[in-house]
């Protein structure tokens, strides 16, 4: 009888998956995420309806929105969702592409794992392919010389989204907004506000050279429209400050009560009088405005708005060239912002305030109209994608052909590059190239075309030197995508390839997974079925 006793180094609520099982489980989870977003790619991509536990509905084909709203449970799948967020934050578009590529890189790596090629070798091959891809992308990109290309970039980004029917109109708004707030090649997306209004036709959407607030004046007697506005921006309350420590006021007679109330009114009138004496006729306050102060401001014909968000206060300052004041004694004409018109407009039950005609606005607003909240939300996501692409193109100053053209050219050149490599890394580079071809293949598939015929013709054209030929899904033909106006920023493609490769390598190198669970659902996050929690 053996005297050996089992040794436990982990508690019972920790599940462990090791070796090939861990790799296969992670790869399968990444593939599932890739398959989920795959059908949304391109102008003919389908939408997803996401309904949360409270019954709220989101209808979208935006990759990052889908992955954010899904209740993903698997740790490897969560990592794929994270790179989509990074792509969105860095370049504003290409979220579906990056999730698809990561899944495809891992799927193709599994073929090599089955041939007993070590994960480290595959990772090294993928890293070489990614570096070479960046070189090739820079080489095949073209400079952004004509600003009219920006409109085509914005239209390409919005194609297939909820703004499809008005993409030309929205593209004009996006380019005009970016041009208005640009400082050289730098554009801060926070300087472009998107304000949504339900009920009107999308064709009425407009660019306001200033700020639009979902606010109404604080007092009914205040004017609803002021020309040649002299604007004061306060981040202090126009009300009596509450004592920081608990205070008690002892009042024993009605006269004392009246004196106390009167002293408060006098103090508030003093605050209002300082604003009135300054010559300002519009007040935006980040904090509250007391009813008494409102009354005196209204009597003096001053518009006032309270509880304006900090971000909107910053936009107002940049748009009107005003200064945000923290001490009422510092109020002077030099701190005023200026606008040709401040106007409150009623739309149904809601009030919208326009600050228009700012002299040199460094913050603008795209006003988006739509029939329902779901439609407007998807339009907003489309406009954000368009903005992201335009900003990325302006920053990098270079663009590439869309429609799968750049992926086919990359794959062709990577195969040529793989022949210069010795060892098994060559096989990894070839699988990397094959994964890139999944983008044009999916574009064709989602449009109802034969993906094999499309890929064959694309490869034949690129082999003969037509490096900018891609799939134009508006006429279902293969043609020069630069001429057809299907253009994407270089930065979006560079970021997608780089992020997807890094994540694929990270997941490939995992061979041991330990998951701790404090309850009976031990190991739930690594359910052998990666579809769990994704249905």
Catalytic residues: 62, 95-96, 385
Give the separation between CA 529 and CA 4, rounded to whole angstroms. Answer: 36
Using a 10 angstrom Cβ sphere, with 0-12 exposed, 13-18 middle and 19 or more buried, the burial of residue 139 is exposed
% helix, strand, coil for the chain, step of 5: 50, 20, 30
Token couple for 310: 């900090």
Cβ contacts of 159 within 8 Å, gap of 6 or more: 42, 43, 167
Residue 406 pairs with which residues in a beta bridge?
Answer: none
Residues 508-523 as b/e (b if ≥16 CB within 10 A, e otherwise) read bebeebeeeeeeeebb
Which residue bears the tokens 């004041």? 325
Non-local CB neighbours of 353 within 8 Å, separated by 6+ positions = 212, 213, 214, 215, 216, 217, 305, 342, 343, 344, 345
Beta-bridge partner residues of 58: 50
Integer Rg of the chain from CA:
29
Number of C-alpha atoms within 13 angstroms, CB side, residue 397? 5
Structure tokens at 228: 């040649």
Taking the C-alpha atoms of residue 215 and residue 345, their distance in angstroms, rounded to an integer, is 10
Burial of 438 (0-12, 13-18, 19+ CB in 10 A): buried
**Dist CA 69 CA 28 (whole Å):** 20
């Amino acid at each position: 009888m053996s005297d050996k006793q089992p040794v436990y180094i982990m508690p019972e609520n920790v599940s462990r998956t090791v070796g090939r099982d861990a790799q296969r489980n992670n790869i399968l989870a990444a593939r599932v995420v890739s398959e989920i977003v795959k059908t949304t790619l391109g102008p003919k991509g389908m939408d997803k309806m996401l309904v949360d536990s409270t019954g709220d509905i989101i209808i979208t084909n935006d990759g990052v929105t889908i992955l954010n709203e899904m209740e993903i449970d698997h740790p490897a799948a969560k990592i794929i969702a994270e790179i989509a967020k990074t792509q969105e934050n860095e370049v504003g578009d290409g979220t579906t592409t990056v999730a698809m590529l990561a899944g495809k890189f891992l799927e193709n790596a599994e073929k090599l794992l089955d041939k007993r090629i070590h994960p480290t070798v595959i990772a090294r091959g993928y890293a070489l392919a990614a570096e070479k891809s960046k070189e090739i992308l820079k080489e095949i990109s073209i400079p952004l010389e004509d600003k009219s290309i920006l409109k085509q970039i914005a239209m390409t980004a919005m194609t297939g989204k909820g703004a499809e029917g008005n993409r030309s109109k929205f593209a004009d708004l996006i380019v005009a907004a970016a041009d208005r707030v640009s400082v050289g090649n730098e554009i801060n997306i926070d300087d472009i506000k998107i304000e949504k209004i339900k009920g009107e036709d999308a064709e009425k959407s407009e660019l306001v050279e200033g700020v639009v607030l979902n606010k109404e004046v604080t007092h009914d007697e205040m004017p609803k429209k002021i020309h040649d506005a002299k604007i004061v921006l306060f981040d202090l309350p126009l009300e009596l400050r509450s004592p920081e420590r608990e205070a008690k006021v002892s009042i024993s007679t009605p006269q004392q009560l009246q004196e106390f109330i009167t002293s408060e009114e006098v103090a508030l009138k003093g605050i209002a009088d300082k604003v009135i004496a300054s010559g300002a006729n519009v007040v935006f306050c980040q904090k509250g405005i007391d009813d008494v102060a409102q009354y005196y401001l209204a009597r003096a014909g001053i518009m006032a708005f309270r509880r304006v968000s900090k971000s909107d206060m910053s936009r107002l300052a940049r748009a009107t060239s005003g200064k945000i004041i923290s001490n009422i004694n510092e109020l002077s004409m030099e701190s005023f912002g200026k606008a040709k018109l401040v106007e409150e407009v009623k739309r149904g039950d809601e009030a919208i305030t326009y600050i228009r005609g700012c002299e040199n606005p460094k913050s603008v607003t795209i006003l988006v109209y739509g029939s329902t909240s779901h439609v407007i939300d998807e339009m907003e996501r489309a406009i954000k994608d368009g903005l992201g692409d335009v900003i990325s193109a302006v920053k990098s100053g270079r663009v590439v052909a869309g429609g799968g053209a750049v992926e086919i050219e990359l794959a062709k050149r990577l195969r040529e590059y793989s022949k210069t490599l010795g060892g098994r890394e060559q096989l990894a580079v070839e699988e990397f190239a094959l994964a890139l071809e999944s983008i044009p293949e999916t574009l064709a598939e989602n449009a109802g075309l034969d993906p094999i015929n499309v890929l064959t013709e694309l490869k034949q054209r690129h082999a003969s030197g037509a490096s900018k030929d891609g799939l134009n899904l508006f006429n279902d033909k293969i043609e020069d995508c630069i001429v057809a106006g299907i253009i994407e920023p270089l930065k979006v493609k560079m970021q997608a390839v780089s992020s997807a490769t890094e994540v694929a390598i990270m997941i490939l190198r995992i061979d041991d997974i330990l998951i701790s669970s404090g309850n009976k659902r031990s190991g739930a996050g690594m359910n052998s079925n990666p579809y769990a929690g994704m249905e």
